[in-house]
């Protein structure tokens, strides 16, 4: 049961970060075309900033799971956030 709960939290963390990235693209993008905004962000070196802003939604999911005493799901969200952090750092240092 523990691995299932961690997996659920992990996927909630990834979905929340993806949704947050989409919201950040809509707010800070200069176009309605997401592909164009992402390619422009890659050229400008701001993709990692958009990813970091998107990952802020994981805070809400993390604290919601803690409030509901679902510690294993909160652990899954934390693991997803760490994966996003590592991905962001790799992208930042490659460019």
pTM of the model: 0.87
Question: Tell me, what's the pLDDT at 79?
Answer: 96
User: For the chain, what is the domain count?
Assistant: 1
Q: What is the distance between the alpha carbons of residues 79 and 62, in angstroms, rounded to a whole number?
A: 11
Taken in order 22, 26, 37, 24, the sign of the CA dihedral is negative
Q: Which two tokens stand for residue 82?
A: 């760490």
Domain range for residue 55?
Answer: 2-94
Question: Tell me, what's the pLDDT at 33?
Answer: 81
- At 74-90, the pLDDT tens digits run 999 999 999 999 999 99
- At 6-51, the pLDDT tens digits run 999 999 999 999 999 999 888 888 877 888 888 888 888 888 999 9
At 70, is the secondary structure helix, strand, or coil?
A: coil
| DSSP labels, 13-67 | HHHHHHHHHHHHHHHH-SSS-HHHHHHHHHHHT-HHHHHHHHTTHHHHHHHHHHH
Mean pLDDT of 59-82: 96
């Amino acid at each position: 049961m523990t691995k299932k709960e961690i997996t659920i939290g992990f996927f909630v963390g990834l979905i929340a970060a993806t949704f947050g990235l989409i919201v950040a693209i809509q707010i800070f993008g200069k176009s309605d075309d997401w592909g164009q905004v992402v390619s422009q962000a890659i050229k400008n070196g701001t993709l990692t900033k958009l990813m970091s802003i998107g990952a802020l939604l994981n805070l809400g999911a993390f604290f919601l799971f803690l409030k509901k005493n679902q510690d294993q799901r909160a652990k899954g969200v934390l693991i997803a956030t760490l994966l996003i952090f590592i991905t962001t750092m790799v992208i930042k240092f490659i460019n």
